[in-house]
Amino acid sequence: MIPVKNQREQEAMRAAGAVAAAVLSEVTAFIRPGVTTAEVDRFAAECIRRQGARSAFLGYKKYPCHVCISVNEEVVHGLAGSRRLGFGDIVSVDVGVVYRGFIGDTARTVPVGGCSPLAQKLIDVTEQALYIGISRARAGYRVVDISRSIQEFVESHGFSVVREFVGHGVGRSMHEEPQVPNYVDGKKSPRLVPGMTLAIEPMVNAGRPQVRVLEDGWTVVTEDGLPSAHFEHTVLVTEGEPEILTCCRTMVAA
């Protein structure tokens, strides 16, 4: 069963999405050469608290951090620690917040100060893949239309999509049906209807698609050690254009 959100629930998802987007924006702006990932996580915790929200990740299956911070060859679910970020690293930050009972989930990869042309291309292709996927999040389309558009775009640029982790429905729970793969898996694919809220999140590797999990039980890394990028938005399927719920809005005084 794929949850379909009513007007009231959609309004709540907008609020949660706005909070997640604001936090991600603040956290990525905080990232600079010399900061440790633990400092980034502590700053993220403060941003989330100031918004009146809580982390959707902390404690989820015993995940120990407020946000996911994944550096270079780390794909997703990286753990904050004593590692100091340096010029040229690329950092993926994934923010999930619970706000008034609903979840906003959003991620982006940023260079630390600057990065190599290849890393920048990887970042750009991953972000574009996300927006191409979002453009297929329309009533009447199927989930596989999102998946196919992302995979084809990424592979046309010589990069690869991760298979082991996928996008997902999101709402009162972080992971709802349907799964939203970034590749065509050949399974029966659900049709999209207005009121569905999806976390679309391409994870793109510069080299081979294979990944493994480190001894810490969380950090997902590329098997070939080449860098990876990750972008994610929470999106509402409507009667017309998809609505991105995790866009960073500018707040205007009433």
Residues that bind ligand MF3 (CB under 6 A): 57, 60-61, 63, 68, 77, 94, 96, 105, 168, 199, 201, 232
Structure tokens at 224: 């070939």
Instruction: Give me the torsion for CA of 79, 81, 83, 89, rounded to 10°.
Output: 30
Which C-beta is closer to ligand MF3: that of 78 or that of 195?
A: 78
Taking Cα atoms as reference points, which of 71, 69, 90 lies closest to residue 79?
69
Q: Which does 77 bind (CB under 5 to 8 A by kind): Co ion, ligand MF3, none?
A: ligand MF3
Binding mask 95-134 toward Co ion (x if CB under 5 A, else -) reads ----------x-x---------------------------
* Pairing status of strand 167-169 against strand 203-205: unpaired
Which residues, at least 6 apart from 169, have a Cβ–Cβ distance to it below 8 Å? 2, 3, 175, 176, 177, 178, 180, 196, 197, 198, 199
Residue number with the smallest Cβ distance to Co ion: 199
CB atoms within 10 A of CB 248: 16
73 touches Co ion by CB under 5 A = no
Counting residues that bind Co ion (by CB under 5 A) gives: 5
Taking Cα atoms as reference points, which of 88, 95, 47 lies closest to residue 201?
95
Which residues, at least 6 apart from 162, have a Cβ–Cβ distance to it below 8 Å? 75, 182, 203, 204, 205, 209, 211, 220, 228
Which C-beta is closer to ligand MF3: that of 198 or that of 241?
A: 198
65 with 79: CB under 8 angstroms?
yes
Q: Which does 63 bind (CB under 5 to 8 A by kind): Co ion, ligand MF3, none?
A: ligand MF3
Q: Which does 102 bind (CB under 5 to 8 A by kind): ligand MF3, Co ion, none?
A: none
Q: Which does 57 bind (CB under 5 to 8 A by kind): ligand MF3, Co ion, none?
A: ligand MF3
Interface pick for Co ion out of 94, 145, 176, 243 (rule CB under 5 A): 94
Q: 49 — phi, psi (to 5°)?
A: -65, -45
Distance CA 142, CA 163 (A): 19
Which C-beta is closer to Co ion: that of 177 or that of 224?
A: 177
137 touches Co ion by CB under 5 A = no
Q: What is the closest distance, in whole angstroms, from the C-beta atom of residue 208 to ligand MF3 in the complex?
A: 22
Distance CA 212, CA 94 (A): 19
Q: What is the closest distance, in whole angstroms, from the C-beta atom of residue 119 to Co ion in the complex?
A: 21
Interface pick for Co ion out of 69, 199, 236, 237 (rule CB under 5 A): 199
Which C-beta is closer to Co ion: that of 199 or that of 221?
A: 199
The site for Co ion (CB under 5 A) is made up of 94, 105, 107, 199, 232
